[in-house]
Structure 1
Amino acid sequence: MDQYNIEKDLRTVRAQFKACRQALFVMGDPVRQDILILLSEKLDGGMNVTEITAKLSLSRPAVSHHLKVLKDGGFLKAEKTGTQIFYSIEMDEPFSRIQKLVENLGKIAKEIKTRRSGSGKKASG
């Protein structure tokens, strides 16, 4: 039976953290979390800045700033309709990277717990 190589997974996780740094920063702000939740609830085409501003009771410039950060981070798409821009969720890529990171962290945590318990068993991969 192959011994679990935690060092290899730690190198992978280190690289994944680096690749996820921007996405984790974007998601770490409570206002941006509120915007993501708000837009996730709006499945029929998105919302414009005015609608988001009204729902969150923030200034228009503040909402625009957070929307730009979310869009630049790959969490939103913006579609222009006439003179308005509608924002909607588009987060497959950043969440896919974060999901892989979390899976590998879970694998490492399981291995550490197994080693600390002294049971002699190794976590399967």
Structure 2
Amino acid sequence: MNKYDKMNIIREDFINCQDVLIAIGDETRQSILFVLMETDCKTGLRVGEITERTHLSRPAISHHLKILRDAGVILMRKEGTKNFYYINVRTKLSLLKDLVTNIEDLMTDYY
């Protein structure tokens, strides 16, 4: 594959990752992700539990969770009337891995 083809793949990768990059680029959302990483991904946490660990307001947590959810970075599962949030490790975050891998491949060809 030539450099032009690799660059086109990387352009597509950036487009596919744009919402994820925006979502995880915010420090507040990063702190929420760290809290979620400290837990069992299968169980997840409720908004109140995230609020206690981040010292942010419930409305702020809910706002940031929506952005992370819309980007596909986290998922929510319902248990009765309770919502549990956890990191989505299988889909969107793997796109970031592909992006970085493709950039590394291109750069090692030329440096």
- Deviations 1:25-44 (CA, angstroms, capped at 9, x unpaired): 11111111111121111106
Letter of the 1:32 partner, please give it: R
User: Identity of paired residues, percent?
Assistant: 37
Letter of the 2:85 partner, please give it: Y
CA distance in 2, matches of 1:96, 1:58: 28
Aligned equivalent of 2:9: 12
SS across alignment from 2:63: helix
CA distance in 1, matches of 2:12, 2:74: 24
Select the residue among 30, 35, 52 that pairs with 2:32: 35
Aligned equivalent of 1:57: 55
Aligned equivalent of 2:86: 88
SS across alignment from 2:44: coil
CA distance in 1, matches of 2:82, 2:13: 37
CA distance in 2, matches of 1:68, 1:5: 40
CA distance in 2, matches of 1:15, 1:68: 25
Gaps of 5+ in 2: none
The total of aligned residue pairs comes to 110
CA distance in 1, matches of 2:105, 2:55: 41
Q: TM-score w.r.t. structure 2 length?
A: 0.91
**Once the 2 structures are TM-superposed, how far is the Cα of residue 63 of structure 1 from its aligned partner?**
0.4
**Once the 2 structures are TM-superposed, how far is the Cα of residue 59 of structure 1 from its aligned partner?**
1.0
Larger Rg: 1
Q: TM-score w.r.t. structure 1 length?
A: 0.81
Structure 1 segments of 4 or more deviating over 3 A?
none
Aligned equivalent of 2:98: 100
Task: Please say which of residues 58-67 and 68-77 is displaced more in the overlay.
Answer: 68-77
